[in-house]
Amino acid sequence: MLSLQHISKFYQVSGLKNFVLNDLSLEIDEGEFVSIMGPSGSGKSSLLNIIGMLDEPSEGYHYFAGQAVHQLKEKQRSALYKQYIGFVFQAYHLIDELTVYENIETPLIYQDFKGTERKAMVADMLDRFSIVGKKDLFPAQLSGGQQQLVGIARALIAKPKLLLADEPTGNLNSKQGEEIMELFRKLNKEDGVTIIQVTHSEKNAEYGSRIINLLDGKIESSKQL
């Protein structure tokens, strides 16, 4: 599904290159559930941002769904991204001024779905996550677990092939975290969504099919479960 070859990301500080990712190569197939682990500053989030096309590598080749991302123009990259990728954050990042329903609907608006289609799709999603009763509430009125649920529903609404999650359970208690992880596993197994998650927790990492350990911008180890 995606392939990173000799990817580096560095910041130039007074002539010295400060590497965040250092000549990193990685292949991920469709249907995989990858957990990325590593200590703070090892480059986990940067790697995820590059995979998610939110950031560009300083060097290296990036292929996604058969296309050379490093050669694409902004517009094409954006189209590719919209079609294939959903994002889940540690801090949920719901829009405070929009209701649950509207938050979930927003990606569809950016992909030019018609009003009636949007209604049907959002209703489906609300149903699936059992949050129909909360659709008119604002994020501030929900608990953390519920907010993350909405965040995931929003990430999935446009039926992405790849779900990227940056410490999705970091702000949740263990019970809520488990529920989210179960949901991820289900998505991976039943819907075939490829998932890449960044996590600090061994336990959560083991929900995946592969664990990659990063250290100082390089892959230290990779373990198939």
Residues contributing to the site for another protein (CB under 8 A): 49, 54-55, 78, 81-82, 87, 89-91, 93-97, 106-107, 110-111, 154, 158
Structure tokens at 168: 């999705």
CB of 85 or CB of 211, closer to another protein: 85
Min separation Cβ 206 and another protein, Å: 27
- 46-74 in b/e burial notation, b at 16+ Cβ within 10 A? bbbbbbbbeeebbebebbbeeeebbebee
Q: Which of 218, 215, 219 is nearest to 40 (CA)?
A: 215
CA 51, 109, 144: angle at the middle one, nearest 5?
A: 65
- Quote the CA–CA distance of 9 and 20 in Å, as a whole number: 5
Min separation Cβ 80 and another protein, Å: 11
CB of 44 or CB of 211, closer to another protein: 44
Min separation Cβ 223 and another protein, Å: 28
Min separation Cβ 97 and another protein, Å: 7
* CA-based torsion, 140, 174, 45, 194: positive or negative: negative
CB of 95 or CB of 225, closer to another protein: 95
Structure tokens at 2: 């995606």
Min separation Cβ 109 and another protein, Å: 8
Residue in the block written with tokens 């075939």: 192
CB of 46 or CB of 211, closer to another protein: 46
CB of 44 or CB of 154, closer to another protein: 154
